[in-house]
Amino acid sequence: MHRTAARKGLLRPLPPMDLPFLVLVLTLVAFGLVMLCSASSAVALYRRQDAFAYVRPQLLYAAMGLGAMWTASRVDYHIYHKLAWPLLALSLVLLTAVLFMPEYNGCKRWLVLPGLGTLQPSEIAKFAVVLVFAHIIALNHDRMGSFAVGVVPFALVLGVVAVLMLLEPHLSGTVLILCIGAVLMFVGGTGLRWFVLAGVGGAGAIAAAVVIMPDLVPYAADRLRSWQDPFADPLGDGHQTIQSLYAIGSGGAAGLGLGNSRQKHLFVPEPQNDFIFSILCEELGFLGACAVILLFSDGGPTDNWEKELKQLKLNNWFKHAIKIAIAIGDDADKAVLAEFTGTIESVITVNDKHTLKALIRKVSVRASEFQSHSKQSGDTTSSAEDDSAKIAQDAVNEIKQDVSQNSAVSGGDSGAIDVSLDQDWGNW
């Protein structure tokens, strides 16, 4: 009886579903699989004689991830306290095991899973560090100001993980893990003096690692130089970056079309990995890349925009500037944009790429003409908000006159402009 109740206690009723968020997640997963299939087909066919060699295991991982997501939504999160240390132990075992794997591009970062592809233990370690740190902080939040509790256990965990990752070597991953740990310590309440001391100790540990492992120095220096100027070594460290830049540039505004990338045909050495976004830019263009980035947002601002806007309004040039905002899609928060422009009449909503380009062009021309006319006539009676609203309305009216079956514009809430046509952002 007791055991049955305990088992039932692990699960909880499904919470109310955040449908928009779920749709975003599923859309990104599906789109990611499509782009992986397109970007990896050429290199998979060349290396493994199977165009679907990379996307096939990813389909399995996606299904497993969706199952894990559903399970996590039903499990009482307090169970993660019990999983923190076992998961960290597992990640340390995997980080050790990977050091015995064959090198790939000069590194030992991946475990080969027969029939499934590869696994990067450092990704598990990131999650494990977050979980363990949260576990320690939750249990000792009132003692985080002491050195023994607020520094020692965190330093030990980070030290072991960092050493194992430096041995791969994985310098960028090590720095990321250390930064994650530092943020969690700071938020968790580690005393400031101990936090500074831990930072100095971490810097010293990295310096010691450099002395012990001198190969890290040229490795890090080469990575930095490649980032600063990839064209300095176009056939070496800078090759992939350069080819990726070519891919992004050739995509232009609208892209070459899904599946039509040229750079994925062995020009970008690893189009299925970190550089897949360059292939996306080449096939879908600037507009398609922006659409994907927008999918990672809920459409609302995520930064402290109110504070920055307050500072912006103190500038005289801002007070007298022509301010027109463009909202992409009907779901955009036009009220937030109106805070920047000063009036809702200067916020214009567009629903397709053709209208966006036309609107930017016409607003720029109208603003230039308007300001030139105001200077010549000496008119200083109207406010910047009034001028912005008039220019926005003039641009909308001009586009309405030129509207065709390939464009759609709707004005701000008080503009009552609504031209509904077939093409939308989904047709990118």
The answer to whether residue 299 scores a pLDDT higher than 70 is no
Domain match, 312 and 239 both:
no
- Classify residue 392: in a domain, yes or no: yes
Query: Residue 51: helix, strand or coil by DSSP?
Result: coil
One-letter amino acid for residue 395 of the chain: A
As a whole number, the mean pLDDT across the chain is: 77
Query: At residue 410, what are phi and psi to the nearest 5 degrees?
Result: -130, 140
**What mean pLDDT do residues 295-318 have?**
70
Query: Residue 253: helix, strand or coil by DSSP?
Result: coil
Domain that holds residue 274: 77-295
Domain match, 277 and 338 both:
no
- Decide: residue 316, CB within 10 A, 0-12 exposed, 13-18 middle, 19+ buried: exposed
Total domains, the chain: 2
The answer to whether residue 249 scores a pLDDT higher than 50 is yes
pLDDT for the residue 354: 72
The answer to whether residue 228 scores a pLDDT higher than 60 is yes
| Distance from C-alpha of 360 to C-alpha of 211, rounded to nearest angstrom | 55
pLDDT level of residue 419 (50, 70, 90 thresholds): very low
pLDDT digits 0-9 by tens, 375-418: 555 555 567 777 777 877 777 777 777 654 444 444 444 333 34
DSSP string, 367-388: HHHHHHHHHHHT---S-HHHHH
Domain match, 260 and 333 both:
no
DSSP string, 233-247: STTTTTHHHHHHHHH
Query: Residue 410: helix, strand or coil by DSSP?
Result: strand
pLDDT for the residue 132: 93
| Distance from C-alpha of 387 to C-alpha of 396, rounded to nearest angstrom | 14
| Distance from C-alpha of 114 to C-alpha of 93, rounded to nearest angstrom | 19
pLDDT digits 0-9 by tens, 59-89: 988 999 888 888 887 787 788 888 899 999 9
DSSP string, 117-186: EEE-HHHHHHHHHHHHHHHHHHHSGGGTTSHHHHTHHHHHHHHHHHHHHHTTT-HHHHHHHHHHHHHHHH
Alpha carbon of residue 328 to chain centroid: 19
Domain match, 335 and 419 both:
yes
pLDDT level of residue 135 (50, 70, 90 thresholds): very high
Query: Residue 112: helix, strand or coil by DSSP?
Result: strand
More confident residue, 295 or 261: 261
Secondary structure of 185-206 in HEC code, one letter for each residue: HHHHCCCHHHHHHHHHHHHHHH
pTM (predicted TM-score): 0.51
| Distance from C-alpha of 324 to C-alpha of 218, rounded to nearest angstrom | 49
Domain match, 315 and 239 both:
no
One-letter amino acid for residue 397 of the chain: N
* Domain end residue (candidates: 269, 295, 321): 295
- Classify residue 152: in a domain, yes or no: yes
- Classify residue 184: in a domain, yes or no: yes
As a whole-number percent, the residues of the chain with pLDDT over 70 amount to 78
- Classify residue 254: in a domain, yes or no: yes
Paired tokens of 236: 């070496």
The β-bridge relationship of strands 418-419 and 409-410 is antiparallel
The answer to whether residue 256 scores a pLDDT higher than 70 is yes
Paired tokens of 233: 């070594």
Domain match, 246 and 393 both:
no
- Classify residue 64: in a domain, yes or no: no
Greatest mean pLDDT range, 10-19, 189-198, 338-347: 338-347
- Classify residue 13: in a domain, yes or no: no
- Classify residue 102: in a domain, yes or no: yes
DSSP string, 325-370: EEEESTTS-HHHHHHHHSSGGGEEEE-SHHHHHHHHHHHHHHHHHH
Paired tokens of 86: 């076992």
pLDDT digits 0-9 by tens, 274-287: 788 889 989 988 88
As a whole-number percent, the residues of the chain with pLDDT over 90 amount to 7
| Distance from C-alpha of 143 to C-alpha of 145, rounded to nearest angstrom | 5
| Distance from C-alpha of 41 to C-alpha of 50, rounded to nearest angstrom | 8
Domain match, 251 and 174 both:
yes
DSSP 409: E
The answer to whether residue 212 scores a pLDDT higher than 70 is no
More confident residue, 273 or 422: 273
Buried b (16+ CB within 10 A) or exposed e, 374-411: eeeeeeeeeebbebbbbbbbbbbebbeeeeeeebbbbb
**What mean pLDDT do residues 238-250 have?**
86
Domain match, 203 and 148 both:
yes
Domain match, 280 and 357 both:
no
Domain match, 154 and 218 both:
yes
| Distance from C-alpha of 404 to C-alpha of 349, rounded to nearest angstrom | 17
* Domain end residue (candidates: 295, 316, 337): 295
pLDDT for the residue 129: 92
* Domain end residue (candidates: 295, 327, 359): 295
The answer to whether residue 5 scores a pLDDT higher than 60 is no
Domain match, 271 and 398 both:
no
| Distance from C-alpha of 21 to C-alpha of 417, rounded to nearest angstrom | 29
Cβ neighbors of 405 (< 8 A, separation 6 or more) are 421, 422, 423
Domain match, 277 and 377 both:
no
Paired tokens of 353: 């790429």
pLDDT for the residue 372: 59
- Classify residue 38: in a domain, yes or no: no
